[in-house]
Structure 1
């Protein structure tokens, strides 16, 4: 069964456009990682500084492997500097 992963990130208001542009640049690279079945970017309707990534992974091993890639090692430190609050993440399974 695949894992649906949600990551909530709150960005400094002056970094939101930077993040959206950067996500556009890296989306295909993330989706091409082994076990990744797709990744989308969502934006909170009420708070323009809150974004979510929604990704689907084959299994936990695929997520763990991605976290150890050179790509993740470049992406996470860069966007982390733009955060205005601590990120939150959930790994979920589709029930219905």
Structure 2
């Protein structure tokens, strides 16, 4: 398993629209084959920055999602609201403390 963290920076006036759309697709993303976990976070100091945090079985599962019609629709909608280029990291968990 590995973790995917994506940093998205939005025009402030577009955030409600983005969040409303996310509500309509979040279950489909979460239930995509190979996805085990999905959360979204908002930066405390800059409310225009939102992060997604997802856990995938394998890199191929993420790639399958990234080539799916679902991702193409979500990304086409989402990227029109950005005010900066998104950033993404694929990371392996080193430690987890209860």
The TM-score bracket by the shorter chain reads over 0.9
Structure 1 segments (4+ residues) deviating >3 Å: none
Give the 5 Å matches for 1:78-93.
78-93=77-92
Structure 1 portions without partners, runs of 5+: none
**Residue aligned with 2:45, SS:** coil
Q: Which residue of 2 aligns with 1:9?
A: 8
- 1:73 aligns to 2:72 (yes or no): yes
Q: TM-score, normalized by length of structure 2?
A: 0.94
Structure 2 portions without partners, runs of 5+: none
**Quick one: distance in 2 between partners of 1:22 and 1:56?**
21
**Quick one: distance in 2 between partners of 1:60 and 1:50?**
25
Q: Which residue of 1 aligns with 2:48?
A: 49
**Alignment RMSD (CA, Å):** 0.7
**Quick one: distance in 2 between partners of 1:54 and 1:22?**
17
- Describe the superposition over 1:7-54 as per-residue Cα deviations: whole angstroms up to 9, x where unpaired: 000000110111111112111000111100021110000101000000
> Number of residues paired by the alignment?
95
Q: TM-score, normalized by length of structure 1?
A: 0.96
